[in-house]
Amino acid sequence: FGKPVKSCATAETAYYHFKTLYEQGGELALQEISRKKPIEKNRVEAHIEQAVVNMAYGFPAYGQHRVANELTRQGILISGSGVRSVW
């Protein structure tokens, strides 16, 4: 058992936990193992989120406050912290 555990740089129990998950459900079982559920009330509207993502791809050097200012000029109200939560 030592070789896979050492090559993955993980604890033995974690290795066998993930191995069992993979054997039972394949890759799909490994995708959704997060314990936290997303908090829907803290999300921004879909069109605002898409505008932030478009701005991030179009202007990758802009920081969160610059993106917020540019979007405010376009009539989309979001704070720098709101931009950061989308990233």
How far is the C-alpha of 9 from the C-alpha of 25, rounded, in Å? 23
Alpha helices in the chain (DSSP H): 2-8, 12-31, 46-58, 64-73, 80-86
In order along its 87 residues, the chain shows pLDDT tens digits of 456 566 666 678 888 888 888 888 888 777 766 667 767 777 889 999 999 999 999 999 999 999 999 999 999 999 999 999 887
Domains of the chain, by residue range, sit at: 2-31, 40-86
